[in-house]
Structure 1
Amino acid sequence: MVSTATLLYFGMGTLLFFFWVYGIWAFARDCRRTYVPGFKGWLARRRESKAEQEREQEREEKEKQLY
């Protein structure tokens, strides 16, 4: 027969495993909903900034060539 201590030990282990798995799932969900879109937005702003700098540099070069 299984003792009460053994049942309590495995019951608590199962409970802790459940919260551990839930924590991993919640972290993945938060990353997908918060950090991934934020990173994509940051990359888009960075690319746009670089493109704007290149356009500005080309405009300045054309102005210098005209004078």
Structure 2
Amino acid sequence: MNDWHSWAAVLIFVGAYALIISEKIHRVAVALGGAGLMLAIRATDDKSAFYSEHSGVDWNVIFLL
């Protein structure tokens, strides 16, 4: 991840929390928007977003539940 990706990810994270705290936009919409922005700027990719080799959690299965 490049240096600007790190800063952009931090700004998206802080912005999402600010919107959630302000309650101007529903928190589910903010969370989905933030996740979409992270994928759009390529701060993370789909493999690491939905499967963690470290924890062994396959999030596709969790979402299906």
TM-score tier by shorter-chain length is: 0.3 to 0.5
* Structure number with higher strand proportion: 2
* Structure number with higher helix proportion: 1
Normalising by structure 2, we get a TM-score of 0.34
Q: Whose Rg is larger?
A: 1
Greater RCO, 1 or 2 (C-alpha within 8 Å, sep 6+): 2
Normalising by structure 1, we get a TM-score of 0.33
